[in-house]
Each structure stands twice: as structure tokens, then as C-alpha cells.
Structure 1
């Protein structure tokens, strides 16, 4: 009830009604797995450098439906931050303006729920731009894979410390890594985690 009221309130605040589609009923059994590379970890002052996303439909990752875009920063990249996101000035030579990147992203994700690893951060980063461009934060439902993993692990083992590092979750679920950590690869690997957890949640006797 409250969520519906909140969505209606957000919808009324849209600057441009062509983005009403963000509030459409989402297609059953479809999600978007998303990841951002940023200049830092503070949504208030840091910027998005790249966004990767892929559509999940039922139990399939639609590799023909991926989104991968580089975003122009407003200033030169801090050399220290390159150690985190691994993006150099040369990698961003063909990057697009932030407004263009966000508009394209909104068209790609539509009203689908957004899957991610510590997705609150990515959503806050994106919402910083959408609030300026269309008047609202990103309204899509969030699906956090580390929370699903934690709940399943806790229910089945019910003791001890649970390591929620990305690589640990991948290893424990026997999911192969895709090489370097960039936005698109991380989005694809996160979608693999989501599907594995989705299936494991149906197999009550299967411990991991």
C-alpha cells in the first residue's frame, strides 16, 4: 500500500511524462542486473564513469541484450581512484555526456526490477543524475544478491560468520569469473549469482 502511494507521488514529480514507462507494471520474470564504476564511494561528490547492465529473463541471461557505456567525468580522474575502477583517461576518450548515458540507461531498464551487489550504492549514484534530469530518484525495485545469499546461508547453517565478499560468494556458488572486473562483466557475474540463488532457494535440501 505505502509503496504504491510512494510510486504515485514520485510519478507526479516527473519533469517529463515520457518517462511514465518507469512506473509501468514490470514484465513477469524479467530483471536487469546492473553495475557502475565510479570515481569514489561518495554519491554526493563522486561521479559515474561506466555503467554495465544485462537483462535476465526467467532462468536465462540475455547476452544479446546488454548495456555498456562510458561516461565523461567533469574533471580529470584522480590517479589514486584508478586503482579501484581501473579506468584511465584513454579508456574514456569515446565516453558520452552523463545526461545522454542516463537517458539511454532509463530506456534500457524500463520498469524492470534492478539486481545488483550492494545495489543501494549504484542506485544512489544513478539517482543523483535522474533527480536532476527527470525530477525523481530511480523508482525501480531493488534486488540485493548479497542479502539473498546471506538469508539462504543463515537459514541452512544457522551459525558463524558469513563472508559477503563478491569473490567469496562466486566461489561458494561455483560460478566461474569472467576475467577483469569492469561494469559489464560484474553485471553479468551478478546475474549469474542471482540465478543460482533463485534456483537454490527452491531446493531446500541443497546445501552450499
Structure 2
């Protein structure tokens, strides 16, 4: 009841009614999404790419995916190129970040969001979203690291340490890890992990 009240209050803050669809209840689908950025500091980071994929009926819908390259405002550093494999010329045809966010919103709608350390990715989107439409993402959110920690807590009752590195989590779950630091691949990895963890935890 309280969450519904908060959503209603946020809805009233929406400055562009064209985005009212973000408050639609979509119960049969989720979206796994990921941002590749220039830094882990939300205040200074720029988005380089955004990837997302839909989950429906316990299946990852790779055919219903989303991927955009974003043209950064500042010059790329060598460290970013080595991590993401995205060179300045790769991003020269990228779209402005505001357009990328608009396209992402159209893709996710009111669906629940899934991610790995999702708080960071959501904060990156919100940094640009709030000035655009007056609100932050209102979507329900599930972090696979929290699900994994919950699962391991049940499996290893005598060991409080849980390795939450993505590659370690994939290995423990027997998941073939797709090439990392690619926004779409990371989204697909996380979507598969979500379904595996849901099954291990007996969640619907």
C-alpha cells in the first residue's frame, strides 16, 4: 500500500505526460539492462553504451533486445578503450545520451528491471532522466547479487562469506559467461542468472 502511495506521488511529479507509460503495470515481462560507462563515479561518468533484453515465460528473449552506442561529450581515455573495447571511432556515430535514454524508456516501459549491482546503472540513467521528465525510474528493481547472496546463505549456512563477483557467480551457477564488458552480453548473462537463481530459490 505504501509503495503504491509513493508511486502515485512520483507520478504527479512527471513533467512530460508522454512518459506516463512508465507507471503501467506489466506483470508478464521483465527487462535485464546494463550500462557501460567511463567511470564508477556516477557524478563524473559518461554512458558509452546501453544494452537490455526482455525476459518472458522464464525465457530470455534474445530476439527482443536493445543496444545503443552513445557518443561521449569528452575525449575517451585509454583505460576505457582497454576495458570496453570501444574506440572513439566506434562511438563517433553514437547517439546523444538523452536520445539513448528515451529509446531505453520506450523499450522497458513499466516492466520490472533486473541487473547486477543495478543501483549503479539505475543511478546513471536517473542522472539524465530526472532533468528530462522530472522523475527517476519508477520501475520495480531486482538485483541478481542479492538473489545470489540469498541462495548461497541457504546453501552455506556455516560460511558467511559470499563471492559476489560476476564471473564467480556464473561459474558457481554453471553458466557459460558471454564476453564481458559489452552492455548487451552483460544483460543477457544477468537475465540467464536471474532465471537460474529464481529456480534455485523456488521463486515464481
- Normalised by the length of structure 1, the TM-score is 0.93
SS of equivalent residue, structure 2 residue 123? helix
User: Where do residues 113-128 of structure 1 align in structure 2 (5 Å cutoff)?
Assistant: 113-128=112-127
In 1, Cα distance between equivalents of 2:113 and 2:85:
24
Partners of 1:39 and 1:85 within 8 A in 2: no
Unaligned runs of 5+ in 1: 204-208
Does residue 1:170 correspond to 2:170, yes or no? Answer: yes
Structure 1 residue 97: Cα displacement: 0.8
1:47 aligned residue: 46
- 1:39-188 paired onto structure 2 within 5 Å: 39-160=38-159, 161-188=161-188
Q: 2:162 is paired with a residue of what secondary structure?
A: coil
- Given that residues 36 and 181 in structure 2 are in contact (C-alpha distance below 8 angstroms), is that contact kept between their aligned partners in structure 1? no
Matched residues, number:
202
Tell me, in whole angstroms, the C-alpha distance in 1 between the residues paired with 2:8 and 2:85.
Answer: 40
Matched residue SS, 2:65 = strand
Larger mean Cα displacement after TM superposition, 188-197 or 10-19: 10-19
Q: Deviations over 1:172-196 (max 9, x none)?
A: 0001122343000000000010000
Query: How far is 1:156 from its partner?
Result: 2.2
SS in 2 for 1:31: strand
**Alpha-carbon displacement from aligned partner over 1:9-40 (angstroms, at most 9, x marks no partner):** 111111111111101112x2311000100010
Runs of 4+ with deviation above 2 angstroms: 80-86
**Structure 2 portions without partners, runs of 5+:** none
